[in-house]
Structure formats: C-alpha cells, structure tokens
Amino acid sequence: MSTGNKRAIRTVLQGIAAFAVAAPGIVAASGISATLSWVVGGLAILGGLARVMALPSVEALLDRFGLGLVDDNGGSA
C-alpha cells in the first residue's frame, strides 16, 4: 500500500475520532435534548472511540494492517 493511501486512511480514522470528541459540543449547540436515549448512546460510543484511538495498542494494530505511522522515506516512525 502506498504511503499516500496509508496517510489518507489514517486521516479518515483521525477525523472520526475528532468528531467523537466534538460531538458533545455539537449536541449542546444544536439544542437537542441530551437526555434522549439515542443521543446518550451515541455520545457514549463516540467518547469510547475517541478514547480507544488514543491507545498505543491501536497504533500497534494499525501497524499490523500496514497503516502504521510512516515517515517520508517509507520507514516506520
């Protein structure tokens, strides 16, 4: 897999994690009741996803699938 493709996939994954972190603020700004069961469940899932993306073991998992961090010369960082 090319370095460009790896970086694109990682960017999408990081975008999902960033949305997970921002979701509580989005819900508050939208005026949706945060006590709705689907909102609470969604926020819990997104919060868990954001926490999981911060784990070193996730980086190790990405390395196993060839999506680990790469530098400009193609080696792993």
List, for residues 11-29, the tens digit of each pLDDT value: 788 788 778 778 888 888 8
Displacement of CA 62 from its chain's centroid (Å): 12
pLDDT, tens digit, 9 for 90 and up, residues 33-77: 877 777 778 778 777 776 777 688 887 887 888 777 655 455 444
Give the three-state DSSP class for 70.
strand
Measure the CA–CA gap between 4 and 11, rounded to whole angstroms: 10
Which among 72, 58, 75, 73 has a CA at the least distance from the CA of 10? Answer: 58
